A and B are shown apart, each in its own frame.
Chain A
């Protein structure tokens, strides 16, 4: 196990497209780190640079104490699980699991034909490989179909085999490139729990890439939120959620997304661009700003608050997502089930607000939250 450090790492593709821009990141040893962001944000490129499948245009990548910029993928001691599993279709599950270990044998097949000592060493090696494969198969509960071909397995089983192939190597770092995105919703949730359990058992450094912020929040010890090749925030999920560093992070993390209203702060009042006045968090600097309100913090009130009209309701059983219209401003709230009717008036309150500088990626301002 080892930590992974990226110092001023930039990746430019031919044609001048910058996929990752001067990225500084420390991924601590033994942590489950999730790189999350919308498509094209550079998270997969970052992962591939750590794996050695892409070369960094500039900057330094270290795994443990070693700078690995010029080290080929096989010598980096990392294992990767791919989005589409990437199991060798012509090999059985067992051979798929054995393959990475066979490639790393220290004994030579040809020498073992000639020398008895080499033959004994090779046999011992084979036994060790078989034991490791069996252990990984048991751990992931895939021992029953070791002799099947990948095409004879379901999506979930294939994913386990792909994990197993990484597991048998006992690498310093596990790299997971959207490994759950091909699974159906139910299986994805089950596999999330398994991944967490696996991480707890192994205590290994794992770097997981996903565009699904819910997956990121549930899996990661540390989240790295990226957009357009730039890291916007690094921190534990609770911090990312409660204190988003900027407007982008605020809007990206959370389902439904945070309501973001553009306007001006004057004193203790925030006046939205449509003229609706809200109370700004105490201590917020004055000037053009964006007010952020989490849907969960919006509550229906019977004792005064902001008057709104219910535009639409999505009932989800234990809760409901309601779109309110407040004098032309549309806000989504996640409320307790109630007898609201579309088109009827309602009174709402909210108590936690975030304020960001104006602009697409305006930074967090003041003490909000």
Chain B
């Protein structure tokens, strides 16, 4: 987040300035960055601190009391296990169900999105067929439609298929691609040298073979971006599970979290709510940290490849 910009010739520019002065300028440059970081991290810090407070102090914090400290005097680590135990109607089981459902949905969506979007992106980038340009524009046009517009028709469609209160409406659409991700893949694949695909054809690959053995492995940077975006979106998705999932055993973590909040109607047990929120967020943070290198590389290489 905080990086020094190194410009060619920067040394000669600063030759007249003494090094302590330069250090002061560097420090000054960091002040807005640090302020920005503090601002962004404040809600996260507040959530973590409240999750470790006692029930009473957390409740007071919610009411705007000044009891929140930089770090709790006596961190209540058991809040986390308490929260997980008290989700839903069955201790532990409801939480584990929700966790398993979230994992199943998220992994399936990532796999579906990567496979379908890269395949369609490959077709748009490399396969010449009648109406390709028109179809691509039509696909891009679907990005202009707000999700709310298709919500009811989709619900009716899935209800007619008998998929309501199953995980299928959350998973299956991912296997049919999404416009933005297809666009990302298409742009990246258009930059892969044609000769590589021709070499593949001479080596005995058909279209599917070219996609699977050459194009998909070369798309790793885009795949990292798409996978991280899909993970964060699906893991945190609240609206779709709320619409389609009715039984507690089918809940995902986002819904389980919500039912936890209403279960305690109001501001009681806010420490448990925060504890569960932190626990839910940890996989996202870990994934981002693990994929950070690929992710940032991907953003760069996607931009200049061509």
A contact set with B: CB distance below 8 Å:
51-53, 72-74, 78-80, 82-84, 86, 88-90, 99-100, 103-104, 165
Contacts and interface: CB of A to CB of B under 8 A. Distances in A.
21 contacts: A52-B202, A53-B198, A53-B202, A73-B198, A73-B201, A78-B202, A79-B202, A80-B198, A80-B202, A84-B193, A84-B195, A86-B193, A86-B196, A89-B196, A89-B218, A90-B217, A90-B218, A100-B202, A103-B203, A103-B204, A103-B205
Contacts of B196: 86, 88-89
Interface of B: 193, 195-196, 198-205, 209, 214, 217-218, 220
B218 A82 contact: no
A197 to B, nearest CB: 24
A53 B203 CA distance: 12
Q: Is the interface of B mostly helix, strand, loop or mixed?
A: helix
Given A89-B218, A90-B218, A100 B195 contact: no
B239 to A, nearest CB: 38
Given A100-B204, A103-B204, A104-B204, A80 B218 contact: no
Contacts of B201: 52-53, 72-74
A60 to B, nearest CB: 21
A82 B203 CA distance: 13
A82 B218 CA distance: 19
Given A86-B193, A104-B204, A80 B199 contact: yes
B204 A74 contact: yes
A84 B200 CA distance: 14
B193 A74 contact: no
A191 B218 CA distance: 29
A295 B193 CA distance: 41
Contact of A82 (B198, B214, B220): B198
A83 B195 contact: yes
Given A78-B202, A103-B203, 13 more contacts: A51-B198, A51-B202, A73-B201, A73-B202, A74-B203, A74-B205, A80-B198, A82-B195, A86-B193, A86-B199, A99-B203, A103-B209, A165-B199
Given A86-B193, A88-B214, A100 B198 contact: no
Given A82-B198, A86-B198, A88-B214, A100 B193 contact: no
A99 B199 CA distance: 11
Contact of A86 (B195, B204, B218): B195
Most buried by A among B199, B209, B214: B199
A37 B214 CA distance: 33
A49 to B, nearest CB: 13
B216 to A, nearest CB: 10
B218 A100 contact: no
A171 to B, nearest CB: 9
Contacts of B193: 84, 86
Contacts of A104: 204
A315 B269 CA distance: 92
Contact of A100 (B203, B209, B217): B203
Nearest to B193: A84
A180 to B, nearest CB: 15
Contacts of A88: 196, 199-200, 214
Contacts of B198: 51, 53, 73, 80, 82, 86
A90 to B, nearest CB: 4
Nearest to B217: A90
B215 to A, nearest CB: 10
A87 to B, nearest CB: 8
B96 to A, nearest CB: 35
B204 to A, nearest CB: 4
Contacts of B199: 80, 82, 86, 88, 165
Nearest to A74: B204
Nearest to A75: B204
B228 to A, nearest CB: 20
Contacts of A86: 193, 195-196, 198-199
Contacts of A52: 201-202
Nearest to A105: B204
Nearest to A85: B195
Contacts of A80: 198-199, 202
Contacts of B205: 74, 103
A84 B192 CA distance: 12
Nearest to B199: A86
Contacts of A74: 201-205
Nearest to A72: B201
A78 B201 CA distance: 11
Nearest to A104: B204
Contacts of B218: 89-90
A138 B217 CA distance: 29
Most buried by B among A51, A74, A104: A74
A103 to B, nearest CB: 4
A104 B204 CA distance: 7
Nearest to B209: A103
Nearest to A78: B202
A170 to B, nearest CB: 14
A72 B218 CA distance: 25
Q: Which 3 A-B pairs have the closest CB atoms?
A: A103-B204, A86-B195, A74-B204
A89 B193 CA distance: 11
A100 B205 CA distance: 9
Nearest to B196: A86
Contacts of A84: 193, 195
Contacts of B204: 74, 100, 103-104
Contacts of A89: 196, 218
Contacts of A103: 203-205, 209
